[in-house]
Amino acid sequence: MKATATYLKVSGDQIRRFQRCVLTFYKQHGRMLPWRSTMDSYKILVSEVMLQQTQVSRVIPYYIRWVETWPTVQALARASRPEVLRAWLGLGYNSRAVRLQQASRVITHDFGGDVLAAMQDYQKVPGVGRYTAQAVLIFATNADLVTVDTNIRRILLASFGLPASTADRDLWDLALRCLPKGRSREWHNALMDYGALQVTARRTNIPPKTRQSKFEGSSRQLRAQVLRVLLDAPRTTQTLQQMLCCDEEALSEVLLRMCQEGILTCDGARFVVASD
DNA sequence: TTCCCGCCCT
DNA sequence: AGGGCTGGAA
């Protein structure tokens, strides 16, 4: 017998009311999104990685282009890293692109191309955490599983009047109690729309667990500029500094970190986008 | 200013 | 457990 988590005072009646509310909203306001019309687990994985910390509206054109360019996990595994980074340019968090491609290679070579098997063993897959693995399994197979992202967390806290300090374990348990069995795909799509369009962070005043630092003048801004320049041609540190008019020390740190993340390599004196 | 369907490394 | 990571929109 497993240890049970702290019991949350949520009744069966409250849960049924909540389900009706979410599903009714979905019937009236549900969005038709490109990755919702496929059961291809590879394409769903692409969408989930793109959607990590990135708005739906920005992901849509990138997703469509991506699955046209690389329609299968094997095709992505054969792509070059500069190609992949170019296709990702502007979407943000560029190391996600590197990890998604590494993931495609792990899935192709270690899991025989079986995305779902890889999701069940997600710790071996770069860029895929618990949230993403569960989401892919849910949307591809409609299995009776749950997943809790910042969106679903906010919905549960707001709908049941729970404190922001509620433990993850309790939220996942509650999410499972709320799941209408046999309708996991529809349910999770409904939750996403309910959270994005109705129970927003701004309206509920429930902040996400992790906040981000300012972008303007940050090293993130510098990283983006560096990547754009180096996708065009290899450059030395000195040239980069002149082109970008940036602080030399900040540039050095950014270059080092981008090399560690596998985005760049140092080709003697010049930095290049890593070839693989 | 704050948030957006998190994950990785230290 | 805590900070870093993209860029745009509200």
Q: Which pLDDT belongs to residue A263?
A: 93
| Span CA (A176) to C1' (B7), Å | 23
CA distances to A59, A84, A113 from A65, in Å: 10, 11, 21
Q: Which pLDDT belongs to residue A218?
A: 77
Mean pLDDT, range A200-210, rounded to an integer: 85
State which amino acid sits at residue A170: D
Domain spanning A219-273: which CATH class is it, in words? mainly alpha
State which amino acid sits at residue A100: L
Query: Could you say which nucleotides of strand C lie within 7 A of any protein CB atom?
Result: 3-10
**Cβ neighbours of residue A93 under 8 Å, at least 6 residues apart?**
A52, A53, A54
Residue nearest to nucleotide C9 (CA to C1'): A55
Q: Which pLDDT belongs to residue A1?
A: 40
Q: Which pLDDT belongs to residue A7?
A: 66
> How many C-beta neighbours within 10 Å does residue A38 have?
14
Query: What's the whole-number average pLDDT of chain A?
Result: 92
How many Å apart are CA A170 and CA A231, to the nearest integer? 45
Which of these, A266, A200, A193, A208, lies nearest to A235 by C-alpha position?
A266
Q: What is the pLDDT of residues A48-99, one digit of tens each?
A: 999 998 999 999 999 999 999 999 999 999 999 999 999 999 999 999 999 9
Mean pLDDT, range A13-29, rounded to an integer: 96
pLDDT > 90? residue A42: yes
The residue behind tokens 């240890």 is A3
Q: Which pLDDT belongs to residue A5?
A: 52
State which amino acid sits at residue A147: T
| Span CA (A8) to C1' (C4), Å | 34
Q: What is the pLDDT of residues A213-251, one digit of tens each?
A: 776 767 888 999 999 999 999 999 999 999 999 988 899
pLDDT > 80? residue A196: yes
List residues with CB under 7 Å of strand B.
A 33, 48, 51-56, 93, 99, 125-133, 135, 149-151, 154, 189, 192, 195-196, 200-202, 207-208, 210-212, 214-215, 260
Tell me the CB-side half-sphere exposure of residue A66, using CA atoms within 13 A.
Answer: 28
Share of chain A above pLDDT 70, in %: 97
- Lowest mean pLDDT segment, chosen from A3-17, A137-151, A156-170, A174-188: A3-17
Q: Which pLDDT belongs to residue A170?
A: 92
| Span CA (A127) to C1' (B7), Å | 6
φ, ψ of residue A273 in degrees (nearest 5): -65, 130
Which residues of A belong to the active site? Answer: 48
Please determine whether the domains at A11-211 and A219-273 fall in the same fold group of CATH: no
| Span CA (A209) to C1' (C6), Å | 19
Residue nearest to nucleotide B1 (CA to C1'): A214
Say what the alpha-carbon torsion angle A84, A87, A93, A96 is, to the nearest 10 degrees.
Answer: -40
Tell me the CB-side half-sphere exposure of residue A57, using CA atoms within 13 A.
Answer: 2
How many Å apart are CA A80 and CA A101, to the nearest integer? 9
Choose which CATH entry (3.40.50.1370, 1.10.760.10, 3.30.460.20, 1.10.340.30) describes domain A11-211.
Answer: 1.10.340.30
Give residue A211's pLDDT band: very low, low, confident or very high (50, 70, 90). Answer: confident
Give the residue extent of every domain in chain A: 11-211, 219-273
Q: Which pLDDT belongs to residue A152?
A: 94
Q: Which pLDDT belongs to residue A156?
A: 95
